[in-house]
Amino acid sequence: VERGLPGPGTLTAVFRPTASVLVQVEPVGRWFEAYLRRRNRNVSASFQELEDEEESSEESEDEELLLEEHPMLRTLDPKDWKNQDHYAVLGLPHLRYKATQRQIKAAHKAIVLKHHPDKRKAAGEQIQEGDNDYFTCITKAIETLSDPMKRRAFDSVDPTFDNSVPSKGEGKENFFEVFSSVFERNERWSTKKSVPKLGSPDSSFEEVDNFYSFWYNFDSWREFSYLDEEEKEKAECRDERRWIEKQNRASRAQRKKEEMNRIRTLVDMAYSCDPRIKKFKEEEKARKESEKKAKAEAKKREQEEKEKARQAELEATRLAKEKEDEEARQAAVQAKKEKEIQKKAIKKERQKLRTFCKNWSYFADNESDGVKMMEEVEKLCERLELMSLQTLNETLASGSKEECKAAVERQVEEVNAQLQREREAEVQAMQAARSAEQGSGGGGGGGGGGKGWNEDDLQLLIKAVNLFPAGTNARWEVIANYMNLHSSSGLKRTAKDVINKAKNLQRLDPLQKGEINRKAFEKFKKEHTSVAPSIDNAAPSERFDASGEGNLAPWTTEEQKLLEQALKTYPVSTPERWEKIAAAVPGRTKKDCMKRYKELVEMVKAKKAAQEQVAAKSKK
């Protein structure tokens, strides 16, 4: 077949049909099934018939759905529809949240066909007017379950859901049996579809850690808007509607918080009861213990190596010291030998010098000059060294008498000059030491510091220093004031004078200190043994026995402590108090104890008076 207009520039299409090909096909699909049904029933095909067939097939599937009719359906209160179980109303209590929308619609269709008011009215049943009939509960149930948001709100507060958490006792006895069902029951609230399982006793650490990490970070879609006490649609104005929304939000947040606390409590309880956690902790503890033990062993080995190195170093040091000591001993032996040799040589040269001088009659014409020269020769023997002695002996051995005499006299003059220089240097050193001592003793400044200290003042200073020990407030001012009150010289001492003299006394040698203490004791003995003539014939008082001399030795520290303890032990009201105190201090009589007590009282009074006077001056 050719098509187109002839002429220049035209196109011509040529079609040549090919031979037919036979293809084998297999009829399938619902259209083929409809054809077979029509052929068997001898009816014509139509689109409506196909729709009817589809509906009939759906109805046949709906008939296969098992419904459990609510036994109390007819007694339900339409006004209390919010508290009813919507799944039970539609006959799906066994499927609940697992029911599909198709199943919900099929159940609603079946229950409507049975309980519709028109059918019941046609059957002669009395129907309640308006929304007071129980059929309203069926309507509310399908309204709630057919809307995804409303259904989720109802599923969140499913009355059949078990919110309980197993106790610790139940979990420890049958952990996997108890907690597996609980976690499977609660995993429906997860926003994530993939929820890890509790596992078995043989689960690995990674699996267990993944499980608890998921549940400790659990994200729940559960919400509690279905339990709102107020409905904002009933509000009369915008402000009331906002107030209702605010109340509902607060209530939902509180319930959500309680729900998350419940989940956290469940996970904590499972974690505490999980035997795998205990096993992992024991393994971790064993691992740490092994690491700790390994570290301790490594540290021990390191310490042992250090100790070995230290011992080796000590041994090397000991050997080196022994070698050094041996060398020093050998050197000392050698030096001793050399010294002995030198000593023998000096002794030999001295003997030569004495022999030469003796042979020449000590170069003297009379006996007195000879004795004098003999002394000078002995001085040369003591002062000259070996080389000088050898040189002098060589001169004496080869020279004439006059030459020998001149050589000996020249050597004597040199030795005498050296001795004179040594004496002058010693005298100068003594003068310098004396000048330094006088400068330190007289550096107290004006007033009483530049004047001399007699023995009474020195004894009073020593007594004051012992009476006011280190740590006393304004110590040196108190000591100076004490001396000014009790000194018999009448000189006024300042704190600077007292400090300088105390330092000077500290620099004294032990002999001078002993001499000062001896003089102080002699003065004390003299004062306490002499009796004033005015009281020779006086009768002794009741508190002081004047008979007997008593022990005049100074009180030691031990005796002082015993006396103080006895004074505390026997108060004033004790009968025969001083006899008991004297018995408590061995070596001391009643008189000694009473006299010492009187001295202590006077000392304390003087000490207080000095301190009070210094305090008064400081206030001014």
> Distance between CA atoms of 114 and 355, rounded to whole angstroms?
167
Beta bridge partners of 2: 14
| Predicted pLDDT at 2 | 42
- 303 has pLDDT over 90: yes
Mean pLDDT of 46-63: 51
| Position with higher pLDDT, 274 vs 366 | 274
- 343 has pLDDT over 50: yes
Secondary structure (H, E, C), 189-243: HECCCCCCCCCCCCCCHHHHHHHHHHHHCCCECCCCHHHCCCCHHHCCCHHHHHH
Q: What does pTM read for this prediction?
A: 0.42
**Three-state secondary-structure class, residue 3:** strand
Give me the DSSP letters along 273-308. Answer: H-HHHHHHHHHHHHHHHHHHHHHHHHHHHHHHHHHH
DSSP 496: H
Contact 222, 191 (CB under 8 A): no
**Using one digit for the tens of pLDDT, what is the confidence trace for 221-275?**
999 888 887 677 777 888 888 888 898 899 999 999 999 999 999 999 999 999 9
Candidate from 1-15, 203-217, 344-358, 373-387 with smallest mean pLDDT: 1-15
| Position with higher pLDDT, 296 vs 552 | 296
Mean pLDDT of 193-210: 91
Q: Which of 165, 195, 357, 187 is closest to 271 using CA atoms?
A: 165
- How many CB atoms within 10 Å of residue 228? 17
**Using one digit for the tens of pLDDT, what is the confidence trace for 602-611?**
888 877 777 7
| Predicted pLDDT at 533 | 40
| Predicted pLDDT at 326 | 92
- 176 has pLDDT over 70: yes
Contact 2, 13 (CB under 8 A): yes
- How many CB atoms within 10 Å of residue 553? 12
Residues near 516 by beta carbon (within 8 Å), at least 6 away in sequence: 455, 458, 459, 462, 505, 508
pLDDT band for position 446 (50/70/90)? very low
| Predicted pLDDT at 14 | 55
| Position with higher pLDDT, 294 vs 484 | 294
Candidate from 137-146, 255-264, 267-276, 414-423 with smallest mean pLDDT: 414-423
| Predicted pLDDT at 542 | 39
**Using one digit for the tens of pLDDT, what is the confidence trace for 16-44?**
667 778 888 878 887 788 788 777 777 66
**Using one digit for the tens of pLDDT, what is the confidence trace for 67-101?**
888 888 888 888 888 889 899 989 998 888 889 99
CA distances from 399 to 248, 356, 395, 402 (A): 143, 11, 6, 8
Q: Which of 165, 65, 42 is closest to 111 using CA atoms?
A: 65
Contact 199, 211 (CB under 8 A): yes
- How many CB atoms within 10 Å of residue 375? 12
Please state the φ and ψ torsions of residue 236, each to the nearest 5 degrees: -90, -20
Q: Which of 591, 578, 594, 585 is closest to 559 using CA atoms?
A: 585
Candidate from 12-21, 282-291, 436-445, 601-610 with smallest mean pLDDT: 436-445
| Position with higher pLDDT, 437 vs 246 | 246
Give me the DSSP letters along 355-367. Answer: HHHHHTGGG-SSH
Instruction: Look over the chain and give the mean of its residue pLDDT values, rounded to a whole number.
Output: 81
- 330 has pLDDT over 50: yes
| Predicted pLDDT at 484 | 83
pLDDT band for position 104 (50/70/90)? very high
pLDDT band for position 304 (50/70/90)? very high
pLDDT band for position 534 (50/70/90)? very low
- 60 has pLDDT over 60: no
> Distance between CA atoms of 219 and 216, rounded to whole angstroms?
9
pLDDT band for position 4 (50/70/90)? very low
Q: Using CB atoms within 10 Å of the CB of residue 68, give its burial: 0 to 12 exposed, 13 to 18 middle, 19+ buried.
A: middle
What percent of the chain is modeled with pLDDT above 90? 25
Q: Which of 64-73, 274-283, 369-378, 426-435 has the highest mean pLDDT?
A: 274-283
- The two structure tokens encoding residue 347: 């002794």
pLDDT band for position 15 (50/70/90)? low
- How many CB atoms within 10 Å of residue 350? 19
Mean pLDDT of 119-144: 86
Element (H, E) at 13: strand 13-14
> Distance between CA atoms of 145 and 117, rounded to whole angstroms?
21
| Predicted pLDDT at 149 | 92
Q: Which of 220, 255, 228 is closest to 244 using CA atoms?
A: 228
- 531 has pLDDT over 60: no
Q: Which of 50-59, 156-165, 418-427 has the highest mean pLDDT?
A: 156-165
CA distances from 48 to 40, 51, 55, 58 (A): 18, 5, 11, 15
Mean pLDDT of 412-429: 85
